[in-house]
Amino acid sequence: MTRIDFYVLKPGARGDRLDLTCRLVQRIHDQQQLRILLHCPEPRLARDLDRRLWTFRDDSFLPHGLVGETDPTLTPILISSDGEPANEQQVLINLGLEVPTFFARFARLCEPLDQDPTVLAAGRRRYACYREQGLPLASHQVG
């Protein structure tokens, strides 16, 4: 059963949802060494996240790449704008507004949200959907 964690950026916190996502990726990669898929249904968002991960911190390196442009067997952090990759990842980070149809394939799903009204409303709908399915949910307020 997939464990689902919502990470909500507090009002007035510095950064946006992509910054929060970079922080999550850094923590999961550094502390747990898990393979991560970043689900970005919009190609522009996928490219923006790719750039952000390269420049996120001067003192770290997050080995990542876009699905179709990198070898998925050698890259622990993948960014996909067109669905799930063929290889196995352990953590799904959803940057889409809908429930990913393939989320149950993952041990863990992270849902980063900022204070954008569209993002928050979509996050509430996804939370309700997961709750109706009886999935384990947690919510974390991030400053």
Question: What is the value of pTM for the model shown?
Answer: 0.95
pLDDT tens-digit map of 54-73:
988 888 789 999 998 888 88
Predicted local distance difference test score (pLDDT) of residue 86: 67
Minimum mean pLDDT among 1-10, 75-84, 98-107, 119-128: which range?
Answer: 75-84
Domain ranges of the chain: 3-142
Amino acid in the structure at residue 69: E
Could you confirm whether domain 3-142 is CATH 1.20.1250.20? Answer: no
pLDDT-based confidence at 51, cuts 50/70/90? Answer: very high
Task: Identify which of 100, 96, 90 has the alpha carbon closest to the alpha carbon of residue 112.
Answer: 96
